[in-house]
């Protein structure tokens, strides 16, 4: 597994089967998504790739909203 903290440059972006989401724990819904990703990647002969977010969008947008509220006050 290769982990990128930023999107890799275009010359390092190979074709892949991609899913995007918040994988903060792998519950049955996540397993279903990842299973479908694996099946489709196998059909296409591609590696799998997961794009997730850090911090969690809820944390990011809560901090952003708090900063905007502070400026408005």
Domains of the chain by residue range: 28-72
Q: Contact, 46 vs 14, CB < 8 A?
A: no
Bigger pLDDT: 25 or 15?
A: 15
- For residue 26, give both structure tokens: 């792998």
Q: How far apart are CA 41 and CA 11, in angstroms?
A: 21
Strands, E assignment, 1-73: 17-20, 48-51
What would the mean pLDDT of 29-57 be, rounded to a whole number?
93
pLDDT score at 20? 93
What would the mean pLDDT of 56-73 be, rounded to a whole number?
81
């Amino acid at each position: 597994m290769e982990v990128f903290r930023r999107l890799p440059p275009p010359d390092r972006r190979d074709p892949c089967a991609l899913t995007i989401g918040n994988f903060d724990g792998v519950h049955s819904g996540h397993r279903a998504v990842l299973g479908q990703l694996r099946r489709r990647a196998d059909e296409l002969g591609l590696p799998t790739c997961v794009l997730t977010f850090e911090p969690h969008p809820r944390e990011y947008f809560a901090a952003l909203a708090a900063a905007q509220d502070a400026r408005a006050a």
